Every structure is written in C-alpha cells, then in structure tokens.
Amino acid sequence: MTTTITIALLVILLVIGLPVAFSLLLSAAVGLFLIGGPGLVLGILQTTPGTAVSSYELITIPMFILMAEFMIVSRVADEMFELIGRWVRRLPGGLAIATAISGAAFGAVSGSSTAAAATLSASSVPTMIKHGYDARFASGVVAISGTLAMLIPPSIALILYGLLSGESIAVLLIAGIVPGLMVLTVIILTVFTLIWIRPSWAPKVEEKFSKENHSVAALLFLLLFLVVTGAIYLGIATPTEASAIGAFGALFIAVGRGNTNFGMLRQAVYRALRTTAMIGAIIIGAQVFGYFLTITQIPNLIISHIGGLDFPSWVILIGIICIYLVLGMFLDQIAILILTVPIMLPLIVHLGYDPVWFGVLIVVLAEIGLVTPPVGINAFVVSRYTNVPLEDVFIGVIPHILAHFVVILLLVLFPALVLWLPNTM
C-alpha cells in the first residue's frame, strides 16, 4: 500500500506540472514517512543533499555546459553551419545535410539537445526556407538533428546515466560515438530519400554563401573536440579533467576571437549555473527517492517477478523498449533516466545485457521522445524559434522517427556497435 501511494503521488505531481526534482522529493518523503515516521525522513533529508552533489564526477556536468555556453557566444556554431553549407550546397538537400552535420558538430561541444535545437533553429531554418525548402521538411530536420547532442560526447544524458548506474563515464562517452555517427548517417539518408520522393521540398541552392573565411572557426572547433574526446579516449585525463580543459579552451576561444564582451560571458556563466542547479536539484530528489526504492526493495521484487516468467530475455527487452518509447512521449530525457535507471538497470543486468550498451540504447530511445507528441521538447523549441506551427514540426519529423527504429534494431541485434570502440580504449 505504501508503495502504491508513493508511486501514485509521484505520477500526480508530474502530471500537474510540478518540477521533477520536487515531485521526486515530495513523493519520496511521503513514502519514507509512512515507513519510518518523521525520524527517518529528517535523517535522510539532513544527509542526502550533501552526499548527492559532492561526487567528483558530477563536476563534468557544469564544466561541459559552460563549454557549450562559451562556444555559443563565440559564434563558432553559426560559422560552422555557414562553412558546412558551403561544402555540401551542391548536393540534393545540401542545406538539410549541413543542418544534420552541424547538429552533430554542435553536440560535440554542447551535450544538450535542447540547446542544439535552439541554435540550429535560429541559424538553419530561416536559411532553408529562404532558399525555397518546405517548412515542414526543414523544421523536421532541425528537430531531429538537435537530438544528436545526446549521443555525441560530451553527452549530459550519458554522464547522468553514469552517475546513476555507477558505470564509467569515460566508457559511456566513447560508447556514444559510433551510434551517434549511425544516427547522423540515417538522418542524411532519410533526407536523400525524402528529396527523391518530393524534389520540390528542397530545391537546388543557386545563391552563393558568404565569401568570409570560416576555416579558423572550424579548426578551433575540431581542435577543442579532439583535445577533450582524445584525452578521455587515450586515458590522458578523466572526464572531469577533460571537461575543465574544454571549458577553459572554449573561454579562450570566445575571448581570443574578439567578438564577445564581459556581459556576454557573464550571461553564459549565469545560464550554465542555472542549468547546473536544475540538474543538481533533480539528482538530490532522485537520491532521496532511491532510498525509498532501496527500503521497499522494489527493484528486487521486479527482478524476482519477471525472472519467474517463462519468457525469453529478448521478449522482455522489447517490452522495456516499448515502455521507454511511451515514457518519451510525456517526460524529458533527464526525468526518464532518473525515474527508470534504478529500477530497470538491475533487471537488464539480470537478463544478461551489458549496462553500457543499455545506457546508449536508452539515450537513442530518448532521442525519439524529444520529437514525439504530445511533449516533444525539441519540436516545441523549433516551433518557438522559427514560428513554424507545432503540428507542422511534428509532421516533418515523422520520417526521421521511423528511420530511428532502424538504428534501434541494429543496436539490439549487434551490441558490438556500441561496445567495440570503448573496448579499444
């Protein structure tokens, strides 16, 4: 009964729109109170906040967010889109392909899909529509390309999964590279397919791009990405150290290029602090809720129940995938990770699957949720920044959602696609 009341309260709080952190905290406090009274609740609340946010690995989140903010104010992302567009403009749907590649590039310095979608919306959708691209087609490409930031290092989602699961953050970040490139390839192939079916959606671009040389911006971006990711891959630096190097490098680029001022840098720091505080509050709430799960032994009960079922492990895995697809329609990726990993991960390990592979699979599933109605956050961001009707954005992204299922199938059938590169570290 206590478990039922607590879970029901959590669902109600989330449905009425209370922030995830407070929903977790309040529902867990009620559950703990019903189990052990006020003494248990106060004891956990007195110690948990400090221990939850004192993890050394947690520093990677604010540092990578700060790196992304400094790269945004330096305008390197805008110049990268201009440069990539110049390279691929003669291909069918060249601007859409440039958007997809720019999504991967921005993800390599961001780790935030929402920030990537906002940046791409402001820079690429107006350009595509100006050149005669169909608005639904253009907005769909931008919405799905923004999700690449969840896989390409430094992925905030994979870092958070590592903190929740205890898996190596370095291994998880490297494990996201090959699937991220797979998703990028699938997006580009989907663009080609759509243009082959409807050539009018992406007319050939005749207008030349700016003659301004953006090669310096591209070199600075590649250098920063190689330094951060290479240091993690080669074991030269931990993810925490690499994130600090990345943040300092991005600050150096922003200041050195001379197109930023103190006010812009201060706003970048403020945005990074605000995002970090939000994630920290969610982690504290999740830690308190985790104590409730441990005391009530919910994960063990689920494992015992499902382990007694006469179903092959792949059937149970399909059921888990369907659960994540449904959750993605209503919750953002951070909430999904916080709510499900403590319960699902022990079950996945019990079934014999690799936890690193499962973490990457969750992120790919969360990518679909970011563009799926009714709460596809990236679709809302694209609609807000471009004034394209929300329903048109959702329609434009449907082909990409279907194509994503191909990636999921390949990752399920061939786990080595995820695990090969980390095994060479």
Residue-wise pLDDT tens for the chain (425 aa)? 788 888 888 888 878 878 878 888 898 898 888 888 888 888 888 888 887 788 787 888 888 888 888 887 887 766 776 777 677 767 777 888 888 888 887 777 766 677 777 777 777 788 788 878 888 898 888 888 888 888 888 888 898 899 888 888 899 999 999 999 999 999 999 999 998 888 888 777 655 555 555 677 778 888 888 888 888 888 898 888 988 998 898 888 888 877 788 888 898 899 888 888 888 888 888 888 888 877 887 767 776 777 667 788 888 899 889 888 888 877 777 778 887 888 888 888 888 899 999 999 998 998 888 888 776 778 888 888 788 888 888 898 999 999 999 999 999 999 999 999 999 98
How far lies 3's CA from each of 30, 33, 289, 327, 397, in Å?
Answer: 10, 12, 12, 20, 38
Write the DSSP assignment of 186-225 as a string of letters: HHHHHHHHHHHH-GGGSPPP-SPPP----HHHHHHHHHHH
Residues across the chain: 425
Please count the structural domains in the chain: 1
Domain span at 301: 1-423
Who's near 225: CB < 8 A, 6+ residues apart?
Answer: 108, 109
Residue 153 is encoded by which pair of tokens?
Answer: 């290092």
Measured distance CA(102)–CA(193) in Å, rounded: 20
Residue pair 2/34 in contact by the 8 Å Cβ criterion: yes
41, 302 in Cβ contact below 8 A? Answer: no
